[in-house]
Amino acid sequence: MSVRFCGIELAHPIINGSGTFDAIAARRAFGDTLLDEFPFAAFVSKTVTVEPRQGNPPPRLWEVAGGLINSIGLPNKGLDGYLAQDLPELARLPVPLIVNVMGFTREEVARLVAAFAEREEVAALELNVSCPNVETGLIMGADPRETAALVTRVRPLTTKPIVVKLTPNATDPAAVAAAAEASGADAVSLINTLRGMALHPRTREPWLGGRTGGVSGAAVRSIALAQVSAVANRVAIPVVGMGGVQSGGDAADVLDAGATLVAVGTESFRDPAAACRISRELESLDRGQARPPDETPKQ
Amino acid sequence: MSVRFCGIELAHPIINGSGTFDAIAARRAFGDTLLDEFPFAAFVSKTVTVEPRQGNPPPRLWEVAGGLINSIGLPNKGLDGYLAQDLPELARLPVPLIVNVMGFTREEVARLVAAFAEREEVAALELNVSCPNVETGLIMGADPRETAALVTRVRPLTTKPIVVKLTPNATDPAAVAAAAEASGADAVSLINTLRGMALHPRTREPWLGGRTGGVSGAAVRSIALAQVSAVANRVAIPVVGMGGVQSGGDAADVLDAGATLVAVGTESFRDPAAACRISRELESLDRGQARPPDETPKQ
Amino acid sequence: MSADRRTLAPFGRRRVPIVDRCEYGSYVVLRCLDEAGPAPRPGQFYMLAAAEAWGGGEGERPFLPRAFSVLRATPESELHFLLEAVGPGTKRLGALAEGEELWLAGPFGVGFAPPAEQRRPLLVGGGVGIAPLAIWQDELGLDATVLLGFRDAAHAEGAAVLAEARLATDDGSVGHRGLVTDLLIQELDHTDDARAAVYACGPPPMLEAVRALCAERGVPAQLALESGMACGYGACFGCVVPTRAGYVRLCLEGPVLDAELLETALIPGTGHG
Amino acid sequence: MSADRRTLAPFGRRRVPIVDRCEYGSYVVLRCLDEAGPAPRPGQFYMLAAAEAWGGGEGERPFLPRAFSVLRATPESELHFLLEAVGPGTKRLGALAEGEELWLAGPFGVGFAPPAEQRRPLLVGGGVGIAPLAIWQDELGLDATVLLGFRDAAHAEGAAVLAEARLATDDGSVGHRGLVTDLLIQELDHTDDARAAVYACGPPPMLEAVRALCAERGVPAQLALESGMACGYGACFGCVVPTRAGYVRLCLEGPVLDAELLETALIPGTGHG
Ligand SMILES: Cc1cc2nc3c(=O)[nH]c(=O)nc-3n(C[C@H](O)[C@H](O)[C@H](O)COP(=O)(O)OP(=O)(O)OC[C@H]3O[C@@H](n4cnc5c(N)ncnc54)[C@H](O)[C@@H]3O)c2cc1C
Ligand SMILES: Cc1cc2nc3c(=O)[nH]c(=O)nc-3n(C[C@H](O)[C@H](O)[C@H](O)COP(=O)(O)OP(=O)(O)OC[C@H]3O[C@@H](n4cnc5c(N)ncnc54)[C@H](O)[C@@H]3O)c2cc1C
Ligand SMILES: Cc1cc2nc3c(=O)[nH]c(=O)nc-3n(C[C@H](O)[C@H](O)[C@H](O)COP(=O)(O)O)c2cc1C
Ligand SMILES: Cc1cc2nc3c(=O)[nH]c(=O)nc-3n(C[C@H](O)[C@H](O)[C@H](O)COP(=O)(O)O)c2cc1C
Ligand code: FES
Ligand code: FES
């Protein structure tokens, strides 16, 4: 099941979704056996911003049918804190590290990319473009031109693979993916969470401290699959597919829709070792053979 | 619970989502008791197009976590067939009739609107703008300019209320709603289904005859609520909110998010009389009192 | 015998108790008490869901109710259903115990039409598709010849829900080794084609074989088909099957269709899982 | 007595059988056999889900596992949990019968710290919040004074899971009529503040009253808090509570927090439903 992704050799195609597994915290809860049985073939760290962020006020979670809404608000130690405290710890994980970054202007993103450009602990960078560019007011990852301008700006700063993480809250994610590809991105990943909302059962005000949040989990699985398929049909660069993956069968769907890697997010909340199970199930599916003999394999 | 919507007096705020209840078929299955206990305060008919359509090849359904994907493909008898066969039957329903129409060009939509412009059986028109304009290639309802041009074209053709049914597969549904309002729409309705996909468990090709389809049901509830809220905060015209409503509590959420009416779709498949139950539950919630005394009601 | 093929359903769904559950080899028979409902016609079906814990199974499903032919209806307002666990919905329903409850809507669709005079009914069933033949046999009486096919002995135990059936199994463990259509050919060979009327329900390849066979011989046949259904009462347009007259909603115009209406009984999305 | 406040959890979740279920008034105690797991520390918690039919309830929930303080751990690897049905998750768990199974992950979080020498432990619990006090009493022994508050007599039956508790009920049906904090004030009035250490778990308004009271008197207090949790092991950042040191993940730094760390124990999104 080993797979090559942007020149990086991975033991299997299952990684984590950014922000859905904190390897440092998990080691505090589970101890070092976590490292022996590390569930992901590469580790994607939670979004890092230039400045430290405390994140959104609680409540941050709301359970929905087959999923949840989160308004975590990207808490993180900021670039300096990440470099000083998190990076050394994450570098000790037994798998390649992908650092996910977000900026509120192109220059902020450039600063983040530059900071990791030469770090040998870092295998690749993922750009979280689900937020508005405060200069243009446009969601960076919802508009092909914004995305192109961003990738064009940061591409020259590093030779490391750049993965653009697309937002699903867009009219045409495939057009955004194509713009990222044309501007030099090495891969795209999707989907991030879908905008959702819940009201407080009593006060009738928004329940979440952040008012709205992002929906993930089984509920978004078929929406994610449609977007992964549309994107994979449009671009030649590899795709990291995610959204509601809970089983090896779900992962196989994402791969057959055209993805090279599959990320597991919310399911790790339900089962901390979900990714181990999912890659085991995927392997046992023996996907080549499952095809009827009269059918030529999809590319 | 009676409510006024675009000048139409309705007994309660629960109507059906277009294409999720066929009153003519239901009368064949349930007989005339259907009319005595008619569940909706207004009836929205399935999308009518200029030409007859047989719809997409089966399979047309795929069940997902908390919902389903459909690729029905808008089967209908076409404008002439609708006028001759369906309209007289639907006119006999005990509630106002809203006719939902869709065209593949602005002129087609204009033709449909003109055809109903003077029909006294028709209380209002709903424009389904979830499809691409074949002339521009843009999804009519995903782009504010397209929507504005369409509403501007058809507005002069009728004095009946025009409801624009927005697509959720758009970067900024509230901007589209604002464009519709500015061009003379009397109301907007949302959400239509979210694009989704499933693979055939064995062949790994798309399961649905239409390859992709639209996701509805509980799975989309919180996504719908976020969009209804965003739209209602942006426009002054009334909003018909829908998406995954299964209970009076869900309907109350949609109303508290700013909608004037609530439409029930997929839940009617699980329970043919769901809308009766939902309006009963809504009534018993006694929503005014539920608010804590120290809180001023939301507008 | 009533010639009416459709009993109207009460509007809405109703919550009914399971009064008995028993197993016949690979199958489960659920009996429930439907006091508020009318007597269904043979071939009609109901939409069923467990009243509690419907969902949260494999892939967070089931969500929609599931369609089931009525196996038998008693004068005491009992409705019986025959189930085989093939996925999350049938697994959950099959696990229901006496005293638990169902959501039930129906009866829906049109049932079998009585044979024309002089025609002898031949009932041909495969697997769980034997269900509607039981209630049809109850009405037709024992003149009707019953031919049933199963995969193996565990499935063939289901034959106990009908009387005096001739059996075929794929593995020869019970009755004829081979297909139930072999038995049908034998029967038809011994009958004047002008005196036979075939009623069939079973997996799509079996129905297609029956359809082709009857078309060739000019024997009228009625086929009880399946297709994926969301609502059961014409609301969703999801259950269409292609016919010579275009797509028809199986829940409204079927599930029993005249074989002549079909070019093929192989309906996309059914029985190919 | 072990001074370690955190037992590490085996990585992943495990499927464990329910070996007993019984009711104490409004509460259910589930006992399960966790042979693969270590002994938890008092105050730690587990994430639980029913192994079958988790979901499909009210609003198609539950989806995520639910957090429960361990009520008691036996040398035979039994874990006990005390539940009150307040929503779809607790309803489903409370309906599990002996022989059915749970998905269980944990133990998670940090438990209670032993009292400083010379300090007498006062355990103060409200409602279902009495759960972690039972295992803490098991360890501290009967020197610990236990004060419990309940809504009414049906809830007060839960007090049977601890030994020798003084009770208060809102309606006066059992014990003192009023709040458990009334009892705490009495106790503290009879104790030198320098010799008391308070351990509390219960609804947010009760915890806030305990916090304010202890702050005023300079009595050290540890509060076992609740907040909405998705994962229980620090993965989601969803369970944060505001403290003087900023937001902390309650599943990682708690659920037991030193009262001093808090400006208030009224955590948004908990206990206000
Ligand atoms: C009129 C009628 C009468 C019937 N009578 C009977 C009867 O008497 N007894 C009986 O046992 N059955 C009967 N059926 C069939 C029964 O309704 C189905 O077996 C049942 O719906 C299966 O549900 P499930 O959840 O167990 O399986 P599902 O998982 O829904 O699987 C059923 C098939 O659907 C496909 N599938 C797989 N995953 C999905 C998905 N995510 N969404 C949608 N489809 C999927 C596969 O091809 C699979 O084989 C009848 C059907 C009809 C239409
Ligand atoms: C560390 C810890 C230990 C605990 N120990 C125990 C224990 O020992 N015993 C015990 O009984 N409980 C305990 N709890 C509380 C228990 O976890 C909750 O009561 C449980 O999660 C409720 O789940 P539910 O599905 O029954 O209710 P939910 O419906 O999830 O309701 C719980 C609250 O969440 C809110 N809510 C309503 N709808 C939603 C929604 N859609 N999504 C999210 N929130 C919603 C409401 O405010 C409601 O009151 C503990 C919690 C924590 C964090
Ligand atoms: C609690 C939570 C926190 C998340 N944080 C981040 C984040 O910091 N950066 C990011 O790019 N995506 C973040 N995501 C999105 C996930 O990486 C993933 O794209 C999404 O959850 C869909 O996958 P899933 O359905 O498997 O969870 C977060 C998702 C969740 C549920
Ligand atoms: C089977 C099906 C058919 C539909 N057909 C139409 C249609 O013809 N025209 C339309 O505007 N919306 C159509 N819709 C969308 C619904 O009206 C509604 O917007 C959507 O289903 C969300 O509501 P729900 O979650 O309550 O179903 C259809 C939805 C379903 C599930
Ligand atoms: S099942 Fe919905 S129309 Fe037939
Ligand atoms: S519950 Fe997920 S971080 Fe605490």
User: Which CATH number belongs to the domain containing residue B158 in this structure?
Assistant: 3.20.20.70
Number of B:D CB contacts under 8 A?
A: 7
Convert D110-145 to b/e letters by CB count within 10 Å (16 or more is b). bbbbbbeeebbbbbbbbbbbbbbbbbbbbbbeeebb
C-alpha of residue A167 to centroid of ligand 4, in Å: 24
Question: Residues of D with CB below 8 A from A35's CB?
Answer: none
Q: Say yes or no to pLDDT of A295 above 50.
A: no
Q: Are D145 and D229 members of one domain?
A: yes
Give residue C3's pLDDT: 56
- Distance CA(B150)–CA(B133), nearest Å, equals 10
Would you call B218 an interface residue with chain D, using a CB distance cutoff of 8 Å? yes
- Distance CA(A269)–CA(A258), nearest Å, equals 26
Q: Are C160 and C243 members of one domain?
A: yes
Q: Say yes or no to pLDDT of A3 above 50.
A: yes
Give residue D49's pLDDT: 97
B231 φ, ψ (degrees, to nearest 5) = -70, -45
Domain harbouring C100, CATH code: 2.40.30.10
Q: Which domain holds residue D39?
A: 3-108
Q: Cβ A269–D108 below 8 Å, yes or no?
A: no
Q: Say yes or no to pLDDT of B22 above 70.
A: yes
Question: Residues of A with CB below 8 A from C59's CB?
Answer: 218, 246-247, 250
Q: Are C148 and C212 members of one domain?
A: yes
C-alpha of residue A271 to centroid of ligand 1, in Å: 29
Q: How confident is the model at residue D143 (pLDDT cuts 50, 70, 90)?
A: confident
Establish if B164 belongs to a structural domain: yes
Establish if C231 belongs to a structural domain: yes
C240 φ, ψ (degrees, to nearest 5) = -65, 145
Give residue A134's pLDDT: 77
Mean pLDDT of B176-181: 98
Pairing of strands D45-50, D145-150: unpaired
Please report how many Cα atoms fall inside a 13 Å half-sphere around the Cα of residue B186, on the Cβ side.
19
pLDDT in tens, A142-163: 999 999 999 999 999 999 999 9
Q: Cβ B247–D60 below 8 Å, yes or no?
A: no
Please list, in sequence order, all residues whose beta carbon lies within 8 angstroms of the beta carbon of residue B293, skipping any fewer than 6 positions away.
none
Q: Are D91 and D128 members of one domain?
A: no
Q: Are C138 and C82 members of one domain?
A: no
Question: Residues of C with CB below 8 A from A218's CB?
Answer: 59-60
Protein residue whose Cα sits closest to atom 27 of ligand 2: D87
pLDDT in tens, D89-123: 999 999 999 999 999 999 999 999 999 989 999 99
Residue that is last in its domain, among D85, D108, D131: D108
**Min Cα–Cα distance to chain C from A245, Å:** 10
Give the one of A143, A203, A222 whose C-beta lies nearest to B64's C-beta.
Answer: A222
C-alpha of residue D196 to centroid of ligand 4, in Å: 64
Q: How confident is the model at residue B136 (pLDDT cuts 50, 70, 90)?
A: confident
Pick from C64, C108, C231 the residue to mutate for probing ligand 5's pocket: most ligand atoms within 8 Å of its CB.
C231
pLDDT in tens, D22-31: 999 999 999 9
Q: Are D164 and D251 members of one domain?
A: yes
- Distance CA(A293)–CA(B203), nearest Å, equals 10
Task: Give the nearest ligand 1 atom to C108 CA.
Answer: 1
Establish if A175 belongs to a structural domain: yes
Number of domains in chain A: 1
Question: Residues of A with CB below 8 A from D225's CB?
Answer: none
Establish if D55 belongs to a structural domain: yes
Number of B:C CB contacts under 8 A?
A: 139
Q: Is A6 left (phi over 0), alpha (psi -120 to 50) or beta?
A: left
Protein residue whose Cα sits closest to atom 10 of ligand 4: B18
C-alpha of residue C77 to centroid of ligand 1, in Å: 26
Q: Most B CBs within 10 Å: which of C4, C5, C8, C11, as the mutation test of the B interface?
A: C11
Establish if A230 belongs to a structural domain: yes
* Active site positions of A, annotated: 131
Establish if A191 belongs to a structural domain: yes
Q: Are C254 and C124 members of one domain?
A: yes
Establish if A65 belongs to a structural domain: no
Number of domains in chain C: 2
| Structure ipTM | 0.96
Would you call D62 an interface residue with chain C, using a CB distance cutoff of 8 Å? yes
**CA torsion angle for A212, A218, A219, A222 (degrees, to 10)?**
120
- Nearest chain D alpha carbon to C93: D53
Give residue D159's pLDDT: 95
Coil, helix or strand at residue C152: coil
Establish if A272 belongs to a structural domain: yes
Q: Ligand 1 site: residues with CB under 6 angstroms?
A: B 62-63, 201; C 45, 62, 66-69, 81-84, 86-90, 128, 131, 226-229, 255, 273
Mean pLDDT of B93-118: 97
Q: Say yes or no to pLDDT of A296 above 60.
A: no
Give the one of C9, C227, C235 whose C-beta lies nearest to B268's C-beta.
Answer: C235
Q: Are D104 and D140 members of one domain?
A: no
- Distance CA(A58)–CA(D238), nearest Å, equals 8
Q: Say yes or no to pLDDT of A291 above 80.
A: no
Q: Are D95 and D126 members of one domain?
A: no
**Between D204-217 and D180-189, two packed helices, what is the crossing angle to 10 degrees?**
20
Catalytic annotation present for B276: no
Establish if D273 belongs to a structural domain: no
Q: Are D162 and D68 members of one domain?
A: no
> Of the bound ligands, which one is closest to the alpha carbon of residue C232?
5
Q: Are C173 and C201 members of one domain?
A: yes
Q: Which domain holds residue B95?
A: 3-56+72-195+217-295
- Distance CA(A227)–CA(A231), nearest Å, equals 6
Q: Say yes or no to pLDDT of C175 above 60.
A: yes
Protein residue whose Cα sits closest to atom 16 of ligand 3: A17
Pick from B64, B68, B192 the residue to mutate for probing ligand 4's pocket: most ligand atoms within 8 Å of its CB.
B192
> Of the bound ligands, which one is closest to the alpha carbon of residue C79?
1
Would you call B270 an interface residue with chain C, using a CB distance cutoff of 8 Å? yes
Average pLDDT, chain B: 94
Give residue A219's pLDDT: 97
Give residue C198's pLDDT: 97
> To which H or E segment does residue B207 belong?
none
Domain harbouring D195, CATH code: 3.40.50.80
pLDDT in tens, D150-176: 999 999 999 999 999 999 999 999 999
**CA torsion angle for D14, D17, D22, D25 (degrees, to 10)?**
30
- Distance CA(A177)–CA(B83), nearest Å, equals 44
Residue that is last in its domain, among D108, D139, D168: D108
Q: Are C251 and C183 members of one domain?
A: yes
Residue that is last in its domain, among C41, C73, C108: C108
Q: Cβ distance C213 to C147 under 8 Å? A: no
C-alpha of residue D79 to centroid of ligand 2, in Å: 20
Establish if A212 belongs to a structural domain: no
Would you call A281 an interface residue with chain C, using a CB distance cutoff of 8 Å? no
